[in-house]
A and B are shown apart, each in its own frame.
Chain A
């Protein structure tokens, strides 16, 4: 089965085409056939397409909306130039899997998309006003362009965390606010963390129930997940993706009283403050330079920029904070798994995070750590470390494709 996996943000569409089926799943040999991204939808969009084993094809094109973007993707996919193995017409796209950010309490597992499902995703817009609308545009575009006959599946970023116990997801605020408004910790990057748990258990050949690890997804957004017996037990993002770790431009957790103080001191509205915390904080806020970790590391090395160092140090400290915290909250963990752009590609950051964690059994092996980057997975701790460390490149699309296949084969 060829599955088109779509990931639609406010002004960007990312996609992959994966081939998966029962045999491929059993042998763990599902294949990516192509991938790409269209950025700056709504104006002069930047397009980057790549069939597996071929060079990237880049171009700019004025694309008005998500429908236009998905259309552009589909046209490329079936074109001769794209050179995608096994795909010569739209009929070769057997199903579409959509990454949907917020499933609320309603969607705990992937679901086949129906009108009812769409309505319920719309209901969650309140909880994810920046994300779910774009996800829905992707669904509509795919329906219009591929037709009602092509089955579509929604896989939710929140779904993996639906196993958290109440002591993990309730805030210590009046309980009726949970009852009345569903205010609680939801957690995000669920599919990403679920993939890491899957890949960890494959690496070790263990049953799902034996997976007790702390996964760190450190990319544009950053989150930590405490996985106990294979299930999400607690995670750092909360009601929204703002909570928890320091990120590129997000503050993570701060003293809640700060919001009122800022309305008074800076004369801002709460909405403006929310924007400040989402878009002007994090690494960008501290450094005053950039939200990009790579650039900060360069500034630190080349110019000894004090605030670049501060931003990196504060970032690493917060990751340490959550590693220790989740070890204590779960009462056990066998490993820490690094993933995401920063987690996969920056041995220096991993080293700074792990520095001092020998006290909880995590003994980094410098050579192994240095070797793990740019797609290289592997162990980064000394053999026999009580708390092992691994790098596993992210691959949510892999799981979304499998979820899509599995759901459709059952029905």
Chain B
């Protein structure tokens, strides 16, 4: 089955085409046929398309909205010049899988999209005003361009975390605020953390419920996930993606009293403070330079920039905090998994984070660590470690494609392998 995986942001559309079916899943041999990204939707868009095994195609084109962007993607996909194996017409796109950021408490699993589902996603806009609307635009554009006949599935960033116990997701605020407004920790990057749990168990050749690890998705957004017996037990992002780790431009945890203090001291509105915490903080805020870790590492090396060093140190320290915290909260773990842009591509950042973690049994092997580059996976700890560390490149699109296939095919007998004990008739 050829699945078009769509990830629509507020001004971007990312896509992949993945060929998957039961045999391919069993053999772990699903194939990515093509991928690409359209950025700056709404103006002069930057387009990058690539068919597997072919060179990247880049161009710029004014694209007014998500519909135009997806239209541009579809036209390229079926074009002869794209040269995508087994795709000659729109009919060769058998299903579409959409990454939807917030599923609230309503959506605990991936689900085939119908009017009720669209309404459910709309209901969650309140909880994710910056993300769900764009995801919905992608769904609507797809329906218009591919027709009602092509099945679509929504895969939620939040649903992997729906297994967290109340002691993980309730805040220590008046309980009625949870009842009345559904205020609680939701967690995000769920599909990525779920993929990492899956890939870890494949590499270790163990059962799903034997997975006790801490996964670190360190990309533009950063989050940690405590996975106990194969299920999400706790995660660092909360009601929104702002909570938890230090990120490129997000503050992560701060003293809640700071918000009021800033409204007074800087004469800002609460909304402006929220923007400051989301867009001007994190690595960018501390360094005053950039949100890009690679650039900060360069500044550190070339200029010994004091605030670049500070930003990296604070970032690493916060991750250490969560590794130790989750080991205690879970009562132990077998491994820490690094993933996401920084996790996959930066041995230096991994080294900083792992420094001092021998107390938890994690002994980094510098040689192994340095050898694992972009796209590689591998163990980066010494054999004697009792808490191992691995690098595993994430692949949310693979899981979205598989979920799409499964949601449509109702393949119940293999469900538990991948969903880790979510009730099967859903």
Contact = CB atoms under 8 A, between A and B. Distances in A.
Contact of B329 (A238, A246, A271, A317): A317
A270 B263 CA distance: 9
A185 interface: yes
Contacts of B310: 166-167, 170
Interface in A354-371: 355-360
Contacts of A358: 331
B251 A256 contact: yes
Contacts of A246: 172
Which of A173, A185, A238 counts the most B-chain CB atoms under 10 A from its CB?
A173
Contact of B172 (A185, A282, A322, A329): A282
A332 interface: yes
Contact of A360 (B242, B271, B328): B328
24 contacts: A167-B310, A171-B255, A172-B282, A172-B286, A172-B315, A173-B251, A175-B288, A181-B261, A239-B261, A254-B172, A254-B243, A263-B270, A266-B177, A270-B260, A273-B260, A281-B172, A285-B172, A288-B174, A320-B329, A321-B329, A322-B325, A329-B320, A358-B331, A359-B331
Interface stretch (A149-157, A198-206, A306-314): A306-314
B285 A286 contact: no
A315 to B, nearest CB: 8
A260 B274 contact: yes
Given A175-B285, A238-B255, A256 B322 contact: no
A246 to B, nearest CB: 4
Interface stretch (B23-31, B32-40, B353-361): B353-361
Given A240-B257, A261-B183, A325 B172 contact: no
Contact of B258 (A170, A171, A255, A280): A171
A251 B172 contact: yes
B288 A254 contact: no
A170 B331 contact: no
Nearest to A356: B331
Contacts of A240: 255, 257
Interface in A267-282: 270-271, 273-274, 276-277, 280-282
A262 interface: yes
B256 to A, nearest CB: 6
Contact of B257 (A174, A177, A274, A325): A274
B307 interface: yes
Contact of B242 (A255, A270, A283): A255
Interface in B168-185: 168, 170-177, 181, 183, 185
A314 B276 contact: no
Interface of A: 166-168, 170-177, 181, 183, 185, 238-240, 242-243, 246, 250-263, 265-266, 270-271, 273-274, 276-277, 280-283, 285-288, 307, 310-311, 313-315, 317-318, 320-333, 355-360
Given A168-B317, A254-B239, A327-B359, 17 more contacts: A172-B282, A172-B286, A175-B287, A181-B261, A185-B255, A239-B258, A254-B171, A256-B251, A258-B256, A265-B181, A271-B260, A314-B167, A318-B172, A323-B328, A324-B325, A324-B329, A358-B331
Contacts, number: 248
B238 A314 contact: no
A317 B168 CA distance: 8
Contacts of A329: 317, 320-321, 324, 356
Nearest to A331: B356
Interface of B: 166-168, 170-177, 181, 183, 185, 238-240, 242-243, 246, 250-263, 265-266, 270-271, 273-274, 276-277, 280-283, 285-288, 307, 310-311, 313-315, 317-318, 320-332, 355-360
Nearest to B281: A173
Contacts of A251: 171-173, 256
A162 B291 CA distance: 29
B188 to A, nearest CB: 11
